[in-house]
Structure 1
Amino acid sequence: MSPCRAEAPDLERLNQEFAADGVQFLGVNTRDEAGTAASFATTFGLTYPSVIDYQDAAVQLAFSSSIPPNAVPTTLVLDRKGRIAARILGQVTEPSTLETIIRDTVAETD
């Protein structure tokens, strides 16, 4: 199973768990067209939005100093000021680690 498919249920669970805390998830499709991305979201019951980024790579370019362009999937946690608080290169294999990172980031007051 591909890494994106394997981690999708965990990401959706965390999306639901932290929504009340103001945490927002965003998928970035670096290789899929809109139809494929929509099918993926439906198949895995994803409720968070996603953007198509394979044509102009605007999102990838915005984070190019922090993320290798071929590191798919990559999970970024941004703080309230939009700074990268943490990154996970590759599949999220331990959802509890991402959960802890999110909790710590939400708890930050700065």
Structure 2
Amino acid sequence: MSGRAQRARHRARWAWAVSTVVLVLTAAACGTTSGSNSVAAQARSGDRKGYVSGDGSVERIDPANRGTPLTVAGPTVDSRIWSLQDHPGQVVVLNVWGSWCPPCITETPELDKAYRNLTSRFKDVSFIGLDTKESPESALAFIRANRVPYLSLAYDGGERMLSLNGKAPATPTTLILDRQHRIAARVLGPLTASTLEGLVEDVRAA
């Protein structure tokens, strides 16, 4: 083999080696970058979108283990005043949500369907939303755009969330309160209308 051919082969091998190293370093950078969208950062935070969402798991609580009644009250996103005390003897569906939360958006039509079905059949069932981590203006814009038929309490920095006794660790969370306003059932994550209607019917019948 001539000297010119050997030098050409050497240059080709060198170029291949350099390109391989560049590809490896690039792949490593994509996998280990310290930015908020990296896989490592997502794993450390426990989520991918700045929120923790449940998997739709359902919990039913026996009457003997339901604890004390909740006391939830305050201004709504449209500047009204709402209180559980104004709904004595009613089964109340309380949905924790945010317009920034994709699973909340997904379940909105299901909540709307359940609301219309249940409240048309039963006069002792009420719904209330509990907006979280956004301004009343953002929440109200979403409610109006999606024609949500029930009120939502405005975000107050988290004080009302504390009144839920740690039962709403995910967004969305739906709590079904019995006639004494104790937590009787819970869905962590997005739900379907049929699931919610079945839970409410069970709580009413208990």
TM-score by structure 2 length? 0.47
- Which runs of structure 1 show a deviation greater than 3 angstroms over 4 or more consecutive aligned residues? none
Larger-Rg structure: 2
1:8 aligns to 2:108 (yes or no): yes
Q: Determine the structure 2 residue equivalent to 1:103.
A: 201
> Helix, strand or coil for the counterpart of 2:195?
helix
- 1:30 maps to 132
Q: Which AA in structure 1 matches 2:102?
A: S
1:73, 1:91 within 8 Å by CA — same for their partners in 2?
yes
Q: Is the 1:32–1:54 Cα contact (8 Å) retained in structure 2?
A: no
Contact 1:25/1:48 (<8 A) preserved: yes
Q: Deviations over 1:29-86 (max 9, x none)?
A: 111211111111112111100011242x222101133332xx1110000011101111
Counterpart of 1:50 in structure 2 is 152
1:82 maps to what in 2?
A: 181
Q: Are the aligned partners of 1:25 and 1:49 in contact in 2 as well (CA < 8 Å)?
A: yes
Unaligned runs of 5+ in 1: none
State the TM-score, normalizing by the size of structure 1.
0.85
Taking only the aligned residue pairs, the percentage that are identical comes to 35
Q: Does the 8 Å CA contact 2:131/2:155 hold for their aligned counterparts?
A: yes
- Over the aligned positions, Cα root-mean-square deviation in angstroms equals 1.6
Number of equivalent positions: 104
Q: What amino acid is aligned across from residue 195 of structure 2 in structure 1? A: T
1:91 aligns with 2:190: yes
Partner of 2:118: 18
1:73 aligns to what? 172
